[in-house]
Structure 1
Amino acid sequence: MAKLLIASLVDPATHPGGAGTYTRGLVAALRRNHTVDLIGPLHPPPGPWYRSRQLASLAKSCFSELPAKALFARQGEFEQRILERAHAHHYDAALINSSDMLWALDVLPSDMPTVLIAHNLEHQLLVQQLGSSFLHRIFKAEIAKQRCYEIAGFSRVRGVIFLSTTEMAWGCTQIPGLRGLYVPPLFTEPPIARTRQPSARLRLGFLADFAWWPNRQNWMWLLNEILPNVHRSIEVHVFGRQSDKIPTRDRVVAHGFARELQVVWNRVDIMMCPIRTGAGVNIKLAESLYHGVPVLATPHALRGIEYQSGAGLKILDSAEEWVSFLNSSQAGLLATQVPSEKLSRQFAVDRHVEKLETFILEILRGRDQEIDTGPSPLIDCSSTPSRFIHSP
């Protein structure tokens, strides 16, 4: 049994978003065979003065080798406590929970094996957020810096845990020989038994953290492009942090943050995942499938998930396809289906404990191998092949 330290920006016990959900499942899997300690900042994101600190980090990035996202996450008190904890206790390895925290490599003991948990490819999120606007041109250097920072971090750690098969393939292409492991969102509790009440209306659900900008964009696509053109009798139930602050229309009920998932599952016939922007893996889609709720999703919502087809899952891309489906009898048929075992069980923690254990043991066995732990977290972009800089 190894003793592991996880440095994490999010507290898995309290964080309401996808990062907290994923971290809870991964920690539960690791604790099957190891002792796990977590350390986080005194003021987890967003924390006080959130927007002001974002702007300050962006300004500092112009004069720093670190990108703005890393500077934002690099709080002095957090850095000091990681340093003290790692050196005061004997840990066999450390896990860094997010690419935003790769700076932690410079405060951890140089001989300590480290693993990165890559929730997203942050530079790809930046590209999506800025789009093709003039802001993309203004922040082109920042995007390139973030990209180099991530690639350099992948090179320095002993291994990387990816949520997404797509992003793992990208990482292994950029860093030949990278030790990567795909671990999807994991759930330890038994699937919740649904008690749906009969309804003359088709009840559609959308569960998301609306404090995160991609989810707000995805909701606006659903609100403006799809719902006005669905002419059958429907109710749309929206759940999640800040869902009570989003724009709505007739037939939409915003419930705010849902503390009990069973409340969500019992109110809907079909969960919708209208995801068109965002990186990593759609945690809410995984959660819905695991708990046996049929899902209507875009292809982007399934990106990076291993098994993507089966009963209880309908994948449609364009707004026209969504409208046509929701107006048809096929939507009622989907509402009666239960996701196949192959779809749902891929997110069960027991399916991944063994391969996770093998991965950790390989990391620990490599402890005495010579590795590069140089102080600079950045690749010299001037000497980096063009594919490292320009392709997202």
Structure 2
Amino acid sequence: MMKADNFDKSICSSARLIIISHVKDEVGSNGGSVYTRSVVDILKGAFSDVQTVYVHENPINFKKLRIVAAFFGALVSGLPAKALYFLSYKAARRIKRATAVGRADLVIFDHLETSLYSRLIGWKARAILIQHNDEVKLHANRVDELKWRLGRSILASDVARLAKFQCKAFEQIKNVIFLSADEAAAADGTIANKFTLLPSFDYQPARLRNASRAGKDVVFIGNMNWWPNADAINWFVNEVLSLIENDITVHVVGHGSHRWNQSNPRIKTYGFVESREDAWGISPIFIAPVRLGAGVNIKVAEAIYNGRALIATPQALRGIPFEKDEAIAVMESKSEWVDCLNDPLRLEELAQAIPKDINRDLFRRSLGGKSLVEYVENILTARAIQG
């Protein structure tokens, strides 16, 4: 990251920032949109002119058909299906107008797939890519999990295209924001300026609704249409929950959670819940049996911020530089999960535990926001000096 020694405050205050994001999600139905909203809020608090252009301003129709078309298009174009899924000529026109020469000082591409439009921005504008996940690793994990041989072969070819696409995006855009320091360290060496920004929150942490059931309720919150979340709950239900003799109820909150409504009498599902109090007020214990994924798990970060104790796999905690904490129980094997959830005294202890302040502070908006603004100011100042 560049050093902010002497940057021109007038340039930073008058700069126009354009954020290119893929899908408009005003309710924050998934972790990615929650993270994006936090970045937008931070930048709007520091810069007077911040605009967001969405590839899809409305919900995407015919999703399965678009996926099939994207894979066929990938075979012809050499671009990955994930990027082609978000190809829109209407969006391209809007992006080109918004970022034409003289109209934007900095363009921020939110999610790797939006870098598909990087060639459209005016030559004077600087650019930043927000890399929510190590997309190549994430999709390679999915290939490994697939049992269908032909499907594995098709997806493996697309992962190779995605790897080239990601490397090219890093090389062209040069400034990249990562959610975790380990992914930033492992990233391609062509990146000029890396920056790590953990998820951050600025609302009042939610209160528990019913403390009388402390130790008897655990909760998982996440978009269940995101396949690593679905895999986590499937593994938990199939491998762990059937072995639990303790009297506990597992609450599953998020889009698509009703699919598990009949899977086990111990499970209670809610679907998507708009109120933070209704979601985070369910239980003092958050479970994260996540086995796959990349980046930082947004809901795990939010659980720590809200002062919830965690029972989590090492994968769920990846990318979070937390200090050892009695309120964060790391369970690596199935037997560890079963032993923990079958121990009422352990659950009661966890229900009374609150993550350390130093761990909760990792996700306070006031701390990460200042560093992000400095990072953006440095890039704008470099543009002004070189221009």
Q: Same fold (TM over 0.5)?
A: yes
Question: Given the superposition, is the C-alpha separation of residues 209 and 49 from structure 1 closer, same or farther in structure 2, using an over 3 Å criterion?
Answer: same
Residue-pair matches, total = 368
Matched, 1:321 2:347: no
Contact 1:201 1:233 in 2 (8 A): no
Query: Matched residues in 1 for 2:33 and 2:58: separation?
Result: 12
Deviations for 1:165-224, whole angstroms, at most 9, x for unmatched residues?
2211111xx215531111011112122233433128610101110111111111011001
Question: Given the superposition, is the C-alpha separation of residues 140 and 201 from structure 1 closer, same or farther in structure 2, using an over 3 Å criterion?
Answer: closer
Structure 1 range deviating more: 123-132 or 211-220: 123-132
* Shift of residue 353, structure 1, vs aligned partner: 2.1
Aligned counterpart for 2:287 among listed residues 255, 272, 275:
272
* Shift of residue 88, structure 1, vs aligned partner: 7.6
Query: Matched residues in 2 for 1:295 and 1:68: separation?
Result: 36
SS at match of 1:267: coil
TM-score normalised by L of structure 2: 0.90
Share of identical aligned residues, percent? 27
Query: Matched residues in 2 for 1:319 and 1:102: separation?
Result: 40
Aligned counterpart for 2:251 among listed residues 234, 237, 247:
237
Matched, 1:208 2:236: no
Matched, 1:50 2:63: yes
Deviations for 1:287-310, whole angstroms, at most 9, x for unmatched residues?
111011111111000111122532
Query: Matched residues in 2 for 1:84 and 1:131: separation?
Result: 41
Which residue of 1 is the match for residue 210 of structure 2?
Answer: 196
Contact 1:202 1:269 in 2 (8 A): no
Matched, 1:104 2:121: no
RMSD: 1.9
SS at match of 1:311: coil
Question: Given the superposition, is the C-alpha separation of residues 149 and 265 from structure 1 closer, same or farther in structure 2, using an over 3 Å criterion?
Answer: same
* Shift of residue 272, structure 1, vs aligned partner: 0.4
Q: Deviating runs (4+, > 6 A) in structure 1?
A: none
Query: Matched residues in 2 for 1:351 and 1:358: separation?
Result: 12
Matched, 1:186 2:195: no
Structure 1's unaligned 5+ residue stretches are: 372-392
Matched, 1:285 2:308: no
Which residue of 2 is the match for residue 346 of structure 1?
Answer: 362
Deviations for 1:101-150, whole angstroms, at most 9, x for unmatched residues?
11111111122100000011222121111216423333332211101110
Query: Matched residues in 2 for 1:43 and 1:60: separation?
Result: 23
Which residue of 1 is the match for residue 353 of structure 2?
Answer: 337
Structure 2's unaligned 5+ residue stretches are: 1-12
Query: Matched residues in 2 for 1:22 and 1:201: separation?
Result: 30
Contact 1:302 1:308 in 2 (8 A): no
Query: Matched residues in 1 for 2:296 and 2:232: separation?
Result: 15
Query: Matched residues in 2 for 1:351 and 1:214: separation?
Result: 29
Question: Given the superposition, is the C-alpha separation of residues 138 and 195 from structure 1 closer, same or farther in structure 2, using an over 3 Å criterion?
Answer: closer
Query: Matched residues in 2 for 1:72 and 1:351: separation?
Result: 35
TM-score normalised by L of structure 1: 0.89
Aligned counterpart for 2:34 among listed residues 17, 21, 24:
21
Which residue of 2 is the match for residue 40 of structure 1?
Answer: 54
